[in-house]
Amino acid sequence: MGKDSEMNNEPVAWYYPGGSPDQCTTNKEYAEMEPAWTPLYTHPVKELTDEEIEHIYWSLDSTGYDGTFSFIEFARAILRKAQEK
């Protein structure tokens, strides 16, 4: 279930939608016996370089009363940039 599954875009687990939250399996053969099992996939990590993070930091507007921005604004800016990738 490591990189091979992710690279082949194969499910890493299955969830049974009509069951309780703990009805999940990583057993492919078991999940394929019942079509109601929903495959779950991973998504590749979207990383930012140190330079990209620094650029985000310096490009944020200083909107706080003391000329700074909040850590929430910084975190959201990083998330937006990562989602663009």
The reported pLDDT for the residue numbered 2 is: 47
- 45 occurs within a structural domain: no
CA distance 83 to 4: 23
Answer yes or no: do 36 and 7 share one domain.
yes
Nearest alpha-carbon partner for 64 in 75, 73, 54, 51: 73
The band of 1, judged by pLDDT with boundaries at 50, 70 and 90, is: very low
The band of 3, judged by pLDDT with boundaries at 50, 70 and 90, is: very low
Q: What is the pLDDT of residues 65-85, one digit of tens each?
A: 566 778 888 899 999 998 888
Query: What is each CA distance from 53 to 11, 30, 45, 74, 85, in whole angstroms?
Result: 32, 44, 16, 9, 14
The domain of 71 spans 50-84
- 19 occurs within a structural domain: yes
Nearest alpha-carbon partner for 56 in 82, 36, 18, 24: 82
- 35 occurs within a structural domain: yes
Q: What is the pLDDT of residues 20-55, one digit of tens each?
A: 666 889 999 999 998 889 999 888 878 999 999 999
Give me the number of domains the chain comprises: 2
Coil/strand/helix, residue 13: strand
